[in-house]
Amino acid sequence: MIRVTIYNEFVHEKEERIAKVYPDGIHGAIKQKLSEKGDYEIRIATLEMPEHGLTQEVLDNTDVLIWWGHVAHNKVADEVVDRIQKRVLEGMGMVFLHSGHESKIFKRLMGTTCALKWRENDEKERIWVVEPGHPIARNLPEYIELPMEETSGERFDIPAPDTLVFISWFEGGEVFRSGCCYHRGLGKIFYFRPGHEEYPTFYRDDIAQVIHNAVEWAAPVITTKPTMGHFMALEQVKDKFAGQDDAMRTHAYIKD
Amino acid sequence: MIRVTIYNEFVHEKEERIAKVYPDGIHGAIKQKLSEKGDYEIRIATLEMPEHGLTQEVLDNTDVLIWWGHVAHNKVADEVVDRIQKRVLEGMGMVFLHSGHESKIFKRLMGTTCALKWRENDEKERIWVVEPGHPIARNLPEYIELPMEETSGERFDIPAPDTLVFISWFEGGEVFRSGCCYHRGLGKIFYFRPGHEEYPTFYRDDIAQVIHNAVEWAAPVITTKPTMGHFMALEQVKDKFAGQDDAMRTHAYIKD
Amino acid sequence: MIRVTIYNEFVHEKEERIAKVYPDGIHGAIKQKLSEKGDYEIRIATLEMPEHGLTQEVLDNTDVLIWWGHVAHNKVADEVVDRIQKRVLEGMGMVFLHSGHESKIFKRLMGTTCALKWRENDEKERIWVVEPGHPIARNLPEYIELPMEETSGERFDIPAPDTLVFISWFEGGEVFRSGCCYHRGLGKIFYFRPGHEEYPTFYRDDIAQVIHNAVEWAAPVITTKPTMGHFMALEQVKDKFAGQDDAMRTHAYIKD
Amino acid sequence: MIRVTIYNEFVHEKEERIAKVYPDGIHGAIKQKLSEKGDYEIRIATLEMPEHGLTQEVLDNTDVLIWWGHVAHNKVADEVVDRIQKRVLEGMGMVFLHSGHESKIFKRLMGTTCALKWRENDEKERIWVVEPGHPIARNLPEYIELPMEETSGERFDIPAPDTLVFISWFEGGEVFRSGCCYHRGLGKIFYFRPGHEEYPTFYRDDIAQVIHNAVEWAAPVITTKPTMGHFMALEQVKDKFAGQDDAMRTHAYIKD
C-alpha cells in the first residue's frame, strides 16, 4: 500500500471566505477524494505542526509527498527542505500542486526561479492531454475543463520536463505547461497546475483522477541504490608506468 | 565577439608535481588553446581573487563562464554562487569541466547530488560521440581517446540531460554520460567530463575543439526577457458573476 | 492480466548449434522466464506462421508485443508491418530485443536507419543502470554483467530516447545505449540490446527481470482516444468579417 | 553561405483567390523575406517540376530544405521521399511549415500519424515562446500574435520533441505544440505550425525571423560520419575458449 503524506500549509482556510470552499482544509479535500480512488495510507502535515509535520520519521515512511503551499513558502524551515530534498533523491515521489511551484523545495529540485505569469480573474482553464499514453493520463478525457481558476501563463521558468503530459489553455489568452514529469535522483516529481484556494477544484473527480495517477506513477521503484564515491576497477587495468616516475605520464600523454 | 571568463580554483597547480603539467595553471592551458580556436575576449578568475574574480561586473560582461574546480568547492562564497545562478537564469552560458560536477553552482543548477563513482588509476578513456549532428560534435572524430584519465562511473546523479552528446568508456569497466547539455532559465549549460589535473588533457586539440564548440553553443541568444509575475489578460474575459456574491463561484463550479 | 505476444523469427534455432542453446526456441526461453516473473497470458508468433502469427485478431488481443528477429527481417510482410505500426500508435506496447533494431517495424517507428557497429567476438558486456528510479530498473542490481555477448557500438542511429535507462560497456572498447524508452502515438516502446542467439542470455534471471519490467511499463494505459481531424471550436469565436468579402482578410492581416 | 531549397507544392496559388494573397507563390514570399534576414543561396522546388525539383543533385547541394505542402502530399513520388529521408539522416536540415506535418516525408521521419485537430475559422493564434534561450527564439518577442490563422489543436500525434520552443493558443479553445525540434540521424528538423494559404502569414517579419532562426539552427554540423556495420575491437579481448569447442560457451555462460 502506497504511503502518502499530504502537506498543506493550511493558512488560507482560516479565512471564512476560503473555509466555505474547503471546510476541512485543502488537505482534507485531497485526502477524501484520493481515498475514493485507491487504497492509500494517508498522513497529513501542515505548516503549524512541529517540523511542519515532516519529521525524518514521517518522510522515511512516505512513498509520495503531495505539496500545496502558497503564502507561507518562506516559513518552511530550511532544514526541512534539506531533508525533503534528500528523501526525493533517495526515491520518495512528490506531487506539487498549483502554487507549490514557488515553494523552496520545488525551486531547490529544479534549479531555476520557477516564476510564471499569473492573475486571479475567474477564467476558464482547459487542460489538454498531450501525451495520452502516459500513466498520468489514465482514465482521463481528452481535456479537463475548469470553469474558473487562477490563471498561469508562460514563460514558466522550469527545466524542460522529462515528459510533458498536459498543456493548459486560458480564456484570457495564455498557455501553460500544466503537467510536468521529472526524475531527480531516484525520485519522481510531478507538477500539476490547478488548485487555487478560492475554487473547489480538489473536489472534482477528474482532478482527483490526475492526483491518483500521479501518486501511482511517482511511488518509488524498488531498486539497488547506486554506489557513489571511490570505486575499484571491475576490469584489470594495464599498469602503464611500472617502475617509472610520474613525469612519464605527461610524456606518454602528450605523445598521444 | 563572445566574452569568456575562465574560472579555475588554481589550487593543485601550486604543487610542483602538478605545476609541471600545467605551468600556467589549468586556466592558462584552456585560455591558450581556446584562443587558437576562435576570436574570444577571455578573462581569468581564480578562487583567491577578491570575490573569486566573479564580481557582478565581471559576470555582467561574461557570455560564457567556464568552470574548473575540485578541492576548494566549499571555499566558494554562497553569495557568488547566488550571483552566478542568477546570471545563468538570465542567459549566461556555462561550461563545467571535470570535477566541476561537484561545485556548489552545478549542484544548485541541477537540484541533485551530482555524485558519481571515481578512481585515479591511469585508465584509458574513450569518449564516444552519440549525437553527431549536435553543434558540440562539430569537427570531432567518432571518438576521442585519452590514454589516461581519472575514471568516472555511472550512476551519475544528474537530471537526464536535454541532449546527451558524449558517452565515455573506461578501461576499468565503467561508462559515463560525459557530455551533457541543459537549458536552465535563459542560460545553457554544458558538462564535459575529462580534465584531471595530473594529465595534460587541456593541451589536446580535440579537447579544445569540444570546449570551443561548447562555448559557441552556450553563448546567449538575444531574445525578449519574459515578463514574470502579475499579468493582465490579453483577451476579454467574461464576467461570470456580475452583481453576484462570492458563494456563486463555488456553486457554479461544483455544478460543472 | 497483461496479454503478451512473443514474436520470434525462429530461423537460427533450426541449426543444431543454436538449437543446443535454445532447444525450445528463443521464444520458448522468453516465455518460460517471463511466466516465472508474472501472471501473463502469452501467445507465440513466428515468421513461418500464416501472417507470421500476427493477424489483426492477435494484435487486437495483444497488450505488449515482444520482438526478436535477425536474419529474416525482410521476409516480414509489409502489410503486417503496417498493421503493427497502427496498433502501436493506438496503444499496444512493444519490447524490441537485440537485432530487432533492424526490423522493418522498429525502423518504421523510429524514422532512422537504426544502424550501429557490431561484431561477434565473445566479449563481456556490462549493462549499467543510468536511471535507477525508472520502473524498468525495478529489482535490478547496479549493473548486469554478461560474460559473453555480441558487441554493439555507438553511434546507434536512433532518435534520442525519451528516457535512457541503460548504457552498456563492452570489453572491446565500445559503449551503447542499451535500454531506450519511447512514446509513439498512444503506444510505448522499449529497446533492449542483449540477446544474441549463440548465448543463453534469455535464460538469465536478471534479463528476464528487465523484460518483465518492460512489459509492465509498456502495457497500454486506458485513456480517451484523442479526436483527430476536423473539430468545432469550443469557444465562441468573433466573426471578424460578417458581410465583408474575402479580400478583407488579407487587408486586416497585413495591417497587423 | 547556407544553401536553402524551398519546396512548395504550388497548387493553391493557382486559384485566383489565393493568388491574391501570394502572387509569387508561397515559396516566393518565403524566399523574399528570408533573403531580407540573411545571405542565403536559395533554390525553389515545386511539385510540377521534374522529380519535384528535388533531384539527387539538388539535395546534395542543399543544407536546409524548407517544406510547404497541403493538398498534394500524395503526389510526391516515394523515391523522392526516400531520397530526402536519406539526406536528412546524412545531415541535411529540414524546416516543415504548417500542413507539412502531413507530408509523407514528415510522417516517415516521425514514425507516427502526425494527425491533429483542425478547422478553418479565422481565429486568432498567439504563439508563446516557452524556451526563450533556444536559438530559434532569437530576436523574438514573448509571443507572436496572428490575427487570423487556420486552427490546429492537440493531441498532435508526434513523438515528444527533443526541444519544444513554441506553444500556440487559439481563440476557439485549443493549444498546440507549434515549434518542435528533432534530431534524426545527423539531420535536424524543425516543425513550425502557422502558414495557411489564405492568410499572408509568410509576409510577416516575425514569422520570417522564426524561419531564419530555424534555418540557421538546422544547417548541418561538419562532423565525422559515424562508421556503421562490422567493426573491429579497439581493445584486446580475452580469448575465452582457445582450443575448446563451442559448447563451452553455453556452459561458461550458464555458470555465471
Distance CA(B43)–CA(D201), nearest Å, equals: 45
Over the stretch A75-88, which tens digit does the pLDDT of each residue have? Answer: 999 999 999 999 99
Give the residue on D whose Cα is nearest the Cα of B128.
Answer: D226
Supply the pTM of this predicted model.
0.96
Inter-chain touch D182–C171, beta carbons under 8 Å: no
Position C208 scores a pLDDT of 98
Over the stretch B154-184, which tens digit does the pLDDT of each residue have? Answer: 999 999 999 999 999 999 999 999 999 999 9
D52 and D80 Cβ atoms separated by less than 8 Å: yes
- Distance from C201 to chain A by nearest Cα, in Å? 21
Inter-chain touch C175–B175, beta carbons under 8 Å: yes
> Judging by DSSP bridges, how do beta strands A175-184 and A187-192 pair with one another?
antiparallel
Q: Which of C131, C212, C221, C232 to mutate to test the interface with A (most CBs of A within 10 A)?
A: C221
Q: Sort out which chain D residues have CB atoms less than 8 A from B134's CB and list them.
A: 183, 221
Q: Sort out which chain B residues have CB atoms less than 8 A from A91's CB and list them.
A: none
Q: Is the model's pLDDT at B226 over the cut of 80?
A: yes
Mean pLDDT of chain A: 95
Give the residue on C whose Cα is nearest the Cα of A132.
Answer: C186
Q: Is the model's pLDDT at A245 over the cut of 90?
A: no
Position C256 scores a pLDDT of 46
Over the stretch C49-103, which tens digit does the pLDDT of each residue have? Answer: 999 999 999 999 999 999 999 999 999 999 999 999 999 999 999 999 999 999 9
Q: Sort out which chain A residues have CB atoms less than 8 A from B89's CB and list them.
A: 112-113, 157
Side chain identity, residue D31: K
Over the stretch A98-148, which tens digit does the pLDDT of each residue have? Answer: 999 999 999 999 999 999 999 999 999 999 999 999 999 999 999 999 999
Q: Is A139 helix (H, G, I), strand (E, B) or coil?
A: coil
What residues are paired with D41 via a beta bridge?
Answer: D3
Which run of H or E residues covers position D7?
strand D3-8
Position B243 scores a pLDDT of 64
Report the alpha-carbon angle D9-D15-D18, nearest 5: 80
- Distance from C48 to chain A by nearest Cα, in Å? 32
- Distance from A142 to chain D by nearest Cα, in Å? 8
- Distance from A28 to chain C by nearest Cα, in Å? 28
Side chain identity, residue C117: K
* Long-range contacts formed by A31-38: CB under 8 A, 24+ apart: A31/A6, A33/A202, A33/A203, A33/A204, A33/A205, A33/A207, A33/A208, A33/A211, A34/A4, A34/A6, A34/A208, A34/A211, A34/A212, A34/A215, A36/A208, A37/A208, A37/A209, A37/A211, A37/A212, A38/A2, A38/A212, A38/A215, A38/A216
Inter-chain touch B154–C126, beta carbons under 8 Å: no
Radius of gyration of chain D from its Cα atoms, rounded to whole angstroms: 22
Q: Which of A87, A89, A129, A221 to mutate to test the interface with C (most CBs of C within 10 A)?
A: A221
Inter-chain touch C21–D232, beta carbons under 8 Å: no
Kindly list the partner chains of chain A, i.e. chains with 3 or more CB atom pairs below 8 Å.
B, C, D
B174 and A230 Cβ atoms separated by less than 8 Å: no
Q: Is the model's pLDDT at A165 over the cut of 80?
A: yes
Q: Is C189 left (phi over 0), alpha (psi -120 to 50) or beta?
A: beta
- Distance from B178 to chain D by nearest Cα, in Å? 18
Confidence of residue B255 (pLDDT cuts 50, 70, 90): very low
Mean pLDDT value of segment A89-95: 98
Inter-chain touch C221–A132, beta carbons under 8 Å: yes
Q: Is the model's pLDDT at B124 over the cut of 60?
A: yes
Q: Sort out which chain B residues have CB atoms less than 8 A from A117's CB and list them.
A: 226-231
Inter-chain touch D229–C154, beta carbons under 8 Å: no
Over the stretch D198-252, which tens digit does the pLDDT of each residue have? Answer: 999 999 999 999 999 999 999 999 988 999 999 999 999 988 777 666 666 665 6
